[in-house]
Amino acid sequence: MTTLTGIPASSGAAVGPFFLLNTNIPVPTGQPSHQSFEAEGHALNLAIKTVGADLEARAARTTGELQEILLATAEIATDPAISEEAAGFIASGHTASYAMVKATEVFQELLTASGGYLAERVSDVANIRDRVLCEIAGIAYPEIPHFDVPTVLIAQDLSPADTADLETDKILAIVTAGGGPTSHTAIIARSNGIAAIVACPGVVEAASTNSGASVAVDATTGQITFNPNATLKSEIATKIERIKARKSRVITRSADGYVTTDGTVVPIFANIGRLEDTVAAVAAGADGVGLLRTELLYLDRNDAPTLQEQTAIYTQLFTPFNGQKIVIRTLDAGADKPMAFINFAQEPNPALGMRGYRTIDGHEDLLRTQLQAIANAAKATTAEVWVMAPMVTLPGEAATFVAMAREYGLNKAGVMIEVPAAIFHADEITKVCDFVSIGTNDLGQYLHAADRESAPLAGFNDPWQPALLRAVHLVAQAGIKNNCPVGVCGEAASDAALGSVLVGLGVSSLSCSVATLTDVAQAITAHSLTL
């Protein structure tokens, strides 16, 4: 047996055959082009256009978080900045393929140096580059094939585009050498209810030398074993049966939320981003929406959506949640979510710059229009609408936002806690807000100064990190003191085992991906909060 250890990213276990996704694309040399400048430029632009259109088509076939990620990736692919950078290399006599490689290297260096959200896009740019290279060469990009039997998928890493057409019923588990617990791969696995281990060094090499073998994957411990013996297979089979039994257990629920064994009510909400997600959230038994992302309404537009457009879409999103709470996050622009109609200045580190609520400086009209649209939609439906601002740092910012929301009749207003400074201002912030919501993804990486897409640093972004849990506890206790509900809407809330811990720390509600909601509810209702 060969056993390797990575970081659990999505709970579960599996035993079966595996498939190694080989995405090694031949790297072009710097040999001079034998084609004209015009011919190479045409080849590059055509390939970029084709890849962008393909990514948009893949996005159209998906929903939720994956769709959001794919649309952002398509926007990167067709960004004129890349083709303009590549044109310079073509003008120097290089081939379109080599020019694409060098241009993307420039952007990857810039993104890495920027850190935060932008650094997360480095792998996306690499995937775009590889797809463009295949288009120029006239060869097929290596895709995940159709599996006749359920299979464990192993890869160096997976891009959102790689997983767009994933047959989830044929995937036993996902194991990657790269990524981290909040990476795209982890999010996609959790959203589809697939067991996953990430940041597992050596797994690609082990898979290459164990062709034809079976593997045992334990995504509760982070271990993957090639050629498992009968004893280990039996242990994994027992664990799988336990998971099935837990999922089949009757869940105790009241009108106000899910009920622990000692009678504590814990609302469990869904994270959504599009109209399609509302149906799934209702069907999954969500108590409402704990995070409604509004960015997708703004992306790929040269002008901001009008008041009428926003009112119409928010009304559609609110309508299915009759009498239920919906927490809608105002525009989280900036960093990896550039908006054509917002003139972002050049920043050395955009992830730590003008993003989220900070864009109110010079663009207050955008926020006011959005608040008016939310208020209009709230009046037109029976949903209980709460509104919150992202990337708030200081108590004064929180107070200003709450006051502004009140102007529009939105009487439940709060902020996201995702900046370390906000932890130390938690007492003051929870005094001026009606509620707060902790975004553990950003908070975790900012607390540890560790890019959540960095595999070598993945351990820092484990939601079980003590510093993150202590931060949650501090905010929760401030909320209890000031009678201010404190929710968690980051990926930590999608960890079924961690959910009970968060509630034990004082968190009043959880908001998770639709696919993990049942698992989280099962775990919450199986535990007591009292000794």
Residues 113 and 156 in one domain: no
The last residue of a domain, from among 80, 104, 137: 137
Total domains, the chain: 3
| In the predicted structure, residue 22 carries a pLDDT above the cut 80 | yes
Distances (CA, A) of 198 to 115, 318, 506: 20, 36, 29
Residues 103 and 182 in one domain: no
Is residue 322 assigned to a domain? yes
| In the predicted structure, residue 94 carries a pLDDT above the cut 80 | yes
Tokens of residue 85, six digits: 């950078």
Q: Band the pLDDT of 281: cuts 50, 70, 90.
A: confident
Q: What is the pLDDT of residue 115?
A: 54
Residues 239 and 366 in one domain: no
Residues 234 and 263 in one domain: no
Q: What is the pLDDT of residue 361?
A: 75
| In the predicted structure, residue 490 carries a pLDDT above the cut 60 | yes
User: What is the average pLDDT across 56-82?
Assistant: 81
Residues 198 and 213 in one domain: yes
Q: What is the pLDDT of residue 182?
A: 65
Is residue 30 assigned to a domain? no
For residue 307, count CB atoms less than 10 angstroms from its CB and return exposed for 0-12, middle for 13-18, buried for 19 or more. middle
Q: What is the pLDDT of residue 531?
A: 57
Least confident of 3-7, 189-193, 304-308: 189-193
Q: What is the pLDDT of residue 119?
A: 61
Q: What is the pLDDT of residue 114?
A: 55
Q: What is the pLDDT of residue 427?
A: 97
For residue 475, count CB atoms less than 10 angstroms from its CB and return exposed for 0-12, middle for 13-18, buried for 19 or more. buried
CATH code of the domain covering residue 458: 3.20.20.60
Residues 494 and 359 in one domain: yes
Of 171-180, 247-256, 343-352, give the range with the top mean pLDDT: 171-180
| In the predicted structure, residue 45 carries a pLDDT above the cut 60 | yes
Residues taking part in catalysis: 184, 489
User: What is the average pLDDT across 204-222?
Assistant: 91
CATH code of the domain covering residue 193: 3.50.30.10
| In the predicted structure, residue 472 carries a pLDDT above the cut 80 | yes
Residues 405 and 346 in one domain: yes
User: What is the average pLDDT across 102-120?
Assistant: 72
| In the predicted structure, residue 315 carries a pLDDT above the cut 70 | yes
Q: Phi and psi dihedrals of 518, rounded to 5?
A: -65, -45
Q: What is the pLDDT of residue 337?
A: 58
Q: Band the pLDDT of 135: cuts 50, 70, 90.
A: very high
CATH code of the domain covering residue 112: 1.10.274.10
Is residue 95 assigned to a domain? yes
Is residue 386 assigned to a domain? yes
Is residue 530 assigned to a domain? no
User: What is the average pLDDT across 107-119?
Assistant: 66
Is residue 101 assigned to a domain? yes
User: What is the average pLDDT across 467-475?
Assistant: 97
Say if CB 218 and CB 237 are below 8 A apart: no
Q: Band the pLDDT of 120: cuts 50, 70, 90.
A: low
Q: Rounded distance, CA 205 to CA 182, Å?
A: 24
Residues 311 and 376 in one domain: yes
Q: What is the pLDDT of residue 186?
A: 78
Residues 125 and 157 in one domain: no
Supply the range of the domain harboring residue 225. Answer: 2-23+143-247
Percent of the chain whose predicted confidence (pLDDT) is above 90: 49
Torsion of CA 366, 369, 370, 376, to 10 degrees: 180
The last residue of a domain, from among 137, 170, 194: 137
Is residue 32 assigned to a domain? no
Residues 390 and 285 in one domain: yes
User: What is the average pLDDT across 44-72?
Assistant: 84
| In the predicted structure, residue 93 carries a pLDDT above the cut 80 | yes
User: What is the average pLDDT across 243-272?
Assistant: 85
Mean pLDDT, all residues of the chain:
87
User: What is the average pLDDT across 169-183?
Assistant: 86
Q: Rounded distance, CA 26 to CA 38, Å?
A: 24
Q: What is the pLDDT of residue 51?
A: 93
Q: Three-state SS for 255?
A: coil
Residues 315 and 301 in one domain: yes
Tokens of residue 231, six digits: 């004893």
Tokens of residue 321, six digits: 């949640």
R_g (Cα) of the chain, nearest Å = 23
| In the predicted structure, residue 275 carries a pLDDT above the cut 90 | no
Residues 269 and 389 in one domain: yes
| In the predicted structure, residue 143 carries a pLDDT above the cut 90 | no
Report the candidate in 166, 194, 172, 196 with the shortest Cα–Cα distance to residue 183.
Answer: 196
Distances (CA, A) of 464 to 8, 486, 501, 520: 11, 18, 9, 16
The last residue of a domain, from among 137, 163, 183: 137
User: What is the average pLDDT across 250-261?
Assistant: 85
Tens of pLDDT, residues 324-377? 999 999 988 655 555 666 665 666 665 676 677 787 777 788 899 999 999 999
| In the predicted structure, residue 418 carries a pLDDT above the cut 90 | yes
Q: What is the pLDDT of residue 17?
A: 96
Is residue 13 assigned to a domain? yes
